[in-house]
Chains A and B, each alone.
Chain A
Amino acid sequence: MADKFKVLQPWLTLLSRLILGVVLLVAGGLKIGNLPKSAMAVRSYEMLPIPLANFLGYTLPWIEIGLGLLLIVGVTVKISGALGALTMLAFIIAIAQAWARGLSIDCGCFGGGGAIDPEDTKYLSEIIRDIGLMALGIFLYFYPKGRFALEK
């Protein structure tokens, strides 16, 4: 069993890198065309002071793109994986608090965002997805060395 994991682990690391990396890259890429909307999405969580939320709305998509690129190419995987996991944790907390407080918002994870009809919210599936992505990031923190990474 342990041997099997030893063989599989580099491939699992590659797979985790690609999934988390592509998701981050796409999520960031879909937002940069409409950053005022991204800022709106962050504001609508009603967690942060407005100027900070607006700032985050403009910067976070680029950070997602940066982390995504690093993970896909396979450089600084340990740190990028950890940062990716922390980002997901922040999203999970944000979505959970919105849910708990009864806000009706789109998570704005892949563009979009803002207030929506209560029946259109899908907090549970968003949280489950982000938990899965966070798990990939944690795995990369503990097993950063995998196949086809630029950094050996």
Chain B
Amino acid sequence: MAMNSGSDKGTRNLVIGMVAFIVAVGIIFSFISNRANSNYAIPATVSEADGYGIVLNPTATPTIDIWVDYQCPACRTFEVLNGGYINEVIAQKKAKVVFHPLTFIGAESIIAANAAACAADENKFVDMNLALFQNQPNNENSGQWQAEAMLALGESVGIKSETFKQCVRDGNYVKWTRNVTDASANKNVNSTPTIRINGKDLDRNTEYGDPVKFKAALAAAGVK
């Protein structure tokens, strides 16, 4: 250190300052760009109290919460195995079902979640949810899921309205996905899919992949 000249010290402090600046700005920017906000537009069927999820049968009991990412292969598998029964439960109002579309996999998850929310406004969420999983691309963020693909899926389940097209193209509910993510973080949801009945986790290792056990778990929680 004795050999340190004045300019060396200056450079050192400059570098420390620059690194500190990068870290500080990065942290601040990270919090701002991901923050939730109750002012963001939300679909009519979404409630803040239900973690910003899309709610079906709001007055029924028990409550089934489902967190998925439309690009997640395990979620697709879950939907293939248990989606039929879940849709039956919804149709027969045997439970309140809350869908929370998460977007950890990236841009196309956001596009899909937005489209699902737009479909919810057309009372077509259940069909759109199924259509999205049935048409899940083999690779993540492959470029296949853009607005046009969402419109085609919407059409395939019978959505014809202009409002829906506008909603998909404009990404009306893109920011809402941040609220869903933020709420799921506060509820300690750490994987997709995650399924909870009345707030209690189903066993990921046994009850997700076996329709018989899944049905039994729902029955045990009061889905009759």
List 16 extra interface pairs beyond A62-B22, A65-B23, CB under 8 A: A36-B104, A36-B182, A43-B185, A44-B191, A58-B34, A62-B23, A62-B26, A65-B22, A70-B15, A75-B12, A75-B16, A114-B190, A150-B11, A150-B15, A152-B4, A152-B8
Residues of B within 8 A of A76 (CB): 12, 16
Chain B: interface size category = 20 to 34
Chain A residue with Cβ nearest B190: A44
Q: Does B224 contact A (CB under 8 A)?
A: no
Residue in contact with B191 in the complex, picked from A70, A115, A150, CB distance below 8 Å: A115
A62 to B28, CA, bound (A): 10
Shortest CB-to-CB span from B110 to chain A, Å, is 12
Contact B26 A50 (CB under 8 A): no
The verdict on B92 contacting chain A, using a C-beta distance below 8 Å, is: no
A contact residues vs B (CB 8 Å cutoff): 32, 34-37, 39-40, 43-44, 50-51, 54, 58-59, 62-63, 65-66, 69-70, 73, 75-76, 104-105, 114-118, 150-152
For the complex formed, measure the closest distance between the CB of B109 and the CB atoms of chain A, giving whole angstroms. 11
Q: Helix, strand, loop or mixed for chain A's interface?
A: helix
Query: Any chain A CB within 8 A of the CB of B39?
Result: no
B8 interface neighbour in A73, A105, A151, Cβ under 8 Å: A151
Contact with A along B183-197 (1 / 0, CB 8 A): 001101111000000
Determine the distance from Cα of A75 to Cα of B14 in the docked complex, in whole angstroms: 10
Please give, as numbers and ranges, the residues of chain A lying within 8 Å of B27 by CB-CB distance. 58-59, 62
Known: A39-B185, A115-B204. A63 touches B15 (CB 8 A): no
Q: When chains A and B are docked, how far (Å) is the Cα of A120 from the Cα of B86?
A: 28
Given contacts A66-B22, A70-B19, contact A34 B104 (CB under 8 A): yes
Q: Tell me the complex Cα distance, A65–B29, Å.
A: 15
- Residue of A32, A37, A51 near B30 (CB, 8 A) is A32
Q: Which residues of A contact B3 (CB under 8 A)?
A: 152
Q: In the complex, what distance in Å separates the CA atom of A150 from the CA atom of B5?
A: 12
Report the minimal beta-carbon distance from B206 to chain A, rounded to whole angstroms. Answer: 11
Q: Is B106 an interface residue (CB 8 A)?
A: yes
> Distance (Å) between the CB of B14 and the closest chain A CB?
10
In chain B, positions 5-56 with a C-beta closer than 8 Å to chain A are 8, 11-12, 15-16, 19-20, 22-23, 26-27, 30-31, 34
